Chains A and B, each alone.
Chain A
Amino acid sequence: MSKVLMKGNEAIGEAAIAAGCRYFFGYPITPQSELPEYLARRFPEVGGVYLQAESEVAAINMVYGAAATGARVLTSSSSPGISLKQEGISYAAGSELPCLIVNIMRGGPGLGGIQPAQSDYFQATKGGGHGDYKVIVLAPASVQELADMVGTGFDLADKYRNPAMILGDGFLGQMMEPVDFEGIKKSEIAEKTWAVGCKKGRERNVHTSLYLDPEELEKHNIKLAQKYELIAENETMAQEYLTEDAEIVVVAYGLVARICKAAVEKARAEGIRAGVFRPITLWPFPQKVLRKATAAARGVLAVEMSMGQMVEDVRLYLEGRLPVRFYGRAGGMAPTTQAVYEEIKKISLECRGVE
């Protein structure tokens, strides 16, 4: 298949089909509505089930039910709707039911706005709902990567029996880029012997997140924590650009990393050795790679479309070894190449001033 020009939101839908997903439960919200619209059109052609729920709350609970049958199941929303899904995500994590959730972020808090933002980083990576749990969070930076990560997200969710989330922003959902679905396939996955539905010839399967005995619940929490450690050990992904000799490393995820790349090129042209570190998995955060990528650095700049969320993790994982500056725009405003370049230049001057 050759490349086709597609909107990010629609590419998610086509990628889901390629990855063997046939169940979608959702609710319209800007700026992700093209995805449910696309699947409402496409799923009937491939024998899939598309259902518009009465709310995001209902949608995620439909996902919970469908996931329990062993189905590959998708839901999507944008920030305020993702807040509503948190209850169900916590239950899915607690019951260890795999599913893929797409958040095409817009500005908040509250109803906020409908323009792109990255202000749900905390919610996505630190739990979001109640209880000790983690969601695998993927942050693509192009429409192609967005499509590819639908397959990756489903595979990781199935592999670890855990919810996975694609954390994109409104730009990524709305913009058009060439995309190829050739590489997206349903991977070989172990038979889901735990699925409910037809128990002929086997013991019954039960999925619950309820453990009334505190000793049992603690055991369950420890088991989940061990799983999260395993994921953190094995599944981090990151991309580096000119970090090898970089004295200033810009850390950014998603589309913002592409803006930062242009700013870094501009800085390089002026003799400032800058590079970009882009975490692709936000949880687990690629902390070891970050430390390696900043080995030659004298300063770090975190850039986000928020008032500063990921920057806290960057500081945490660098353990105070380097000064970490932050530059952010919020509410649907995006950092410009020029603005990021100026921030790089400022840090460069400060670093040299120290000498």
Chain B
Amino acid sequence: MGVVFERPKALTEEKFSYCPGCHHGIIHRLVAEVIDELGIIDNTVCVSSVGCSVVNYQFFATDAIQAAHGRAPAAATGVKRASPDSIVFTYQGDGDLAAMGTAEIIHAAARNENITVVFVNNAIYGMTGGQMAPTTLKGQKTTTSPYGRDSKREGNPIRVCELLNSLDGPAYLERVSVHDPKHVIRAKKAIKKAFQLQVKGGGFSLVEVLSACPTNWHLSPLAAIEWVKQELMAYYPLGVFREAGEVDGEC
């Protein structure tokens, strides 16, 4: 009997540090499968960021560097410019990318830096214990918006794909979700397209993945999936925002 399912080579045997029902595990697996399928494990460099995925250099079986909060696109730029044959990706959460690292992500996109960004948006700070994120929805309760996010007081959520889509720079921007198998398959296609684009020297790609955080949303894993569908996807519509040039997208 042949093997029908196994761990991607691009994942180590280290156990994930994520909570039950968290979608980071799915997203990690998709990234790892894409690295395997493209045969780029030996020249991929993961740039880890700050947040729940801070130690994901323990999970991806590639070379890796850990970057300061928000600075992953700058660190990735340094790696890519000095080692252009490397396939460089950042893996960043919403606090890292859309708060602390707003300047770095905008300018990496504006330069059309030939890197891939996997942006995980779960509308909350997970690692520090459920504080308000730049992507926290209006009315959403967090430990630092305990009365619900009021746009008059705490401002409005940031839609990253739409924001970056105002720039001439980026080559590929897509928002996906991983709340059901159909969407997982679409998400993988998007991630693969993003990496393929980089392999071909196509420029900056970002895949925003809507993701559940049952622990800090105080919901069961199933209810959290429902919340992704009803609330997150309503404010953050899925779709391709930018696609420059032709890319083979078979999955």
Contact = CB atoms under 8 A, between A and B. Distances in A.
B78 A55 contact: no
A51 interface: yes
Given A55-B103, A61-B68, A206-B63, A198 B43 contact: yes
A226 interface: no
A251 interface: no
A156 interface: no
B62 A68 contact: no
Nearest to B41: A199
B55 A65 contact: no
A65 B78 contact: yes
B81 A212 contact: no
Contacts of A205: 63-64
Contact of B75 (A62, A204, A210): A62
A25 interface: yes
B12 to A, nearest CB: 9
A63 B77 CA distance: 9
Contacts of B71: 57-58, 61, 64, 87-88
A196 interface: yes
A67 interface: yes
B112 to A, nearest CB: 13
B78 A68 contact: yes
Contacts of A285: none
A209 interface: yes
Interface in A156-212: 196-200, 204-210, 212
Contacts of A210: 54-55, 66
A49 interface: yes
A53 B85 CA distance: 21
Nearest to B103: A54
Interface string B206-243: 00000000000000000000000000000000000000
B98 interface: no
A93 B223 CA distance: 44
A198 B47 CA distance: 15
B82 interface: yes
A351 interface: no
Size range of the chain A interface in the assembly? 35 or more
Interface string B161-179: 0000000000000000000
Nearest to A65: B78
A66 B77 CA distance: 8
Nearest to A99: B78
Interface string B184-195: 000000000000
A25 B104 CA distance: 14
A67 B81 CA distance: 11
B107 interface: yes
A25 B82 CA distance: 11
Given A208-B48, A212-B55, A196 B79 contact: yes
B57 A69 contact: no
B83 interface: yes
Interface in B36-58: 42-43, 45, 47-48, 54-55, 57
Contact of A64 (B54, B67, B81, B107): B67
B30 interface: no
Q: Most B CB atoms within 10 A — which of A23, A61, A65, A95? A: A65
A73 interface: yes
B76 interface: yes
Contacts of B80: 65
A62 B77 contact: yes
Contacts of B64: 196, 204-208
B57 A197 contact: no
Contacts of A154: none
B99 interface: no
Nearest to B66: A208
Nearest to A210: B66
A204 B82 CA distance: 18
A205 B65 CA distance: 8
A197 B62 contact: no
A130 to B, nearest CB: 11
B77 to A, nearest CB: 5
Given A58-B71, A198-B86, A66 B66 contact: no
Nearest to B111: A51
Nearest to A59: B74
Interface in A36-57: 49, 51, 53-55, 57
A344 B86 CA distance: 59
B66 A207 contact: yes
A91 interface: yes
Nearest to A53: B74
B67 to A, nearest CB: 6
A68 B75 CA distance: 9
22 contacts: A51-B81, A54-B106, A57-B74, A57-B103, A58-B74, A61-B68, A61-B75, A61-B78, A65-B74, A73-B82, A87-B71, A91-B68, A95-B65, A196-B63, A196-B65, A197-B45, A204-B61, A205-B63, A206-B63, A206-B65, A207-B64, A210-B54
Interface of B: 42-43, 45, 47-48, 54-55, 57, 61-68, 71, 74-83, 85-86, 103-104, 106-107
Across the A-B interface, the 8 shortest Cβ-Cβ residue pairs = A65-B78, A208-B66, A61-B74, A62-B78, A196-B63, A66-B78, A65-B75, A66-B82
Interface of A: 23, 25, 49, 51, 53-55, 57-59, 61-69, 71, 73, 87-88, 91, 95, 196-200, 204-210, 212
